[in-house]
Amino acid sequence: MADRYLSFTGTAPGRFLTRRLGLPQPTVLRRWSEEFPGFRGGVLHLTAGKSELSGPAGPAFEASSDAPAAVLLDATGVRDIEGLAEVHAALHPVVRSVAESGRVVVLGAPLDPVDHHQAAAQQALEGFTRSLGKEIGRGRTVNLVRLSDAAAAESTLRFLLSPKSAYVSGQVIEVGEAQEADVDWSLPLAGRTALVTGGARGIGAAVAETLARDGARVVVLDVPGASADAEQLAARLGGSALALDITAADAGARIAQALPEGLDVLVHNAGITRDRRLVNMPAERWSSVLEVNLASVLRTTDALLETGTLRRGGRIVATASIAGLAGNAGQTNYGASKAGVVGLVRSLAPRALAEHGVTVNAVAPGFIETKMTAAIPLFIREAGRRMNSLGQGGLPADVAETTAWLAHPASGAVNGQVVRVCGQSLLGA
């Protein structure tokens, strides 16, 4: 369903009226397209403190005399209050000049467990970036990346400094040690196989399309009742469809049988809602949501790792939700299932990487414009759209682009992360 308020605020009368009434004035976000693959304008590189990175942080960008499309602040060397003053001094004069729908990315360092002054200063960067994200406006985003190795940052910075990250703001992303990867940045998933559960429609279909755009051979998995949609999408993408109830006890074994040559990217997207307040929720509504959203994820992940179907260098991307991070009335079942996904990611990620060479991450969507959210009553829907720093709902493509970044061969240093795709929702952290 079209966001009529967003369209109205883009008109002269709409801007005048909403300004006079003190109403939100969201900016139409610039997202990736073939016609708009990157921002026009340069990236302004700044430093606060003495940089602790071992090399240049991420890709090179052309400088520009125009308003910067992005600002990249290296604050890895900030270790005390004086260093935080340098953060203010660096960004205070330039924030207003960042182009509409531009980017601010702050590079921080891991918290030092034996230097509480450094830990305090680096943790302060989190409050700083989240707060700046809530005030910067005009479709601009602000994110913090904690890293110690500049060589590990490229895929993350390419994502955050591009139109692909339009609905990702106020996030703190930890990047570990660089992993070797031979990358074709134009088709990074070429020669790789990706499986998307619940892939026939909605967000799952957008994920399948984006992974195929990046070169993957996509397997669209969905329940038998959605097989026609799954087959049609797979045919269009040059992939294949797999009709399967993901809650079946042998789902993992059947996936492995269908993919004898192995799998490189596993996207757990299948999910359902059965909303009702706990006092009115029968056991069936509880169990069905936990079964689809969490139990099936646990079973199939275990099976595909144990059989070696997920090859070394593989990626697991699960779908959490801000409902699992912040809670939501009427969704104790859904919130529990999505919080469970977060627990899975945080526990499994280090072991999966050490034992299988596979990373495990999650995306946590906020209010995304789908058929499901279009059915929400008007006033609740409008509240969902406006209660974030960007003042609008996200699109399935926003979740898909974030998933594609986590699935990227060069994203091996990103592991155990739960990245909210919510426009910096005002709900939760």
Catalytic residues: 334
Which token pair is 304? 């595909």
386 contacts: CB under 8 Å, gap ≥ 6 = 24, 26, 392
Q: Using alpha carbons only, how large is the chain's radius of gyration in Å?
A: 21
Q: Are strands 418-421 and 43-47 parallel, antiparallel or unpaired?
A: unpaired
Query: What secondary structure letter does DSSP report for 37?
Result: S
CB environment 337-369: b (16+ within 10 A), e (fewer) = bbbbbbebbeebbeebbeebebbbbbbbbbbbb
Which token pair is 402? 């974030």
Is the CB of residue 43 less than 8 Å from the CB of residue 61? yes
The residue among 189, 199, 218 whose CA lies nearest residue 314 is 189
CA gap 212, 192 in Å, rounded: 10
Is the CB of residue 42 less than 8 Å from the CB of residue 14? no
The residue among 252, 165, 235 whose CA lies nearest residue 200 is 235
Q: Give the bridge partners for 318, in sequence order.
A: 268, 362
CA gap 120, 112 in Å, rounded: 9
Q: Lay out the sheet containing 141-146: strands in order across.
A: 43-47, 70-74, 103-108, 141-146, 172-174
Which token pair is 104? 């601010």
Return the beta strands (E) in 111-222 as ranges: 141-146, 172-174, 193-197, 217-222
Residue type, 331: Q
Residue 166 burial (CB count, 10 A): 23
Is the CB of residue 353 less than 8 Å from the CB of residue 359? yes
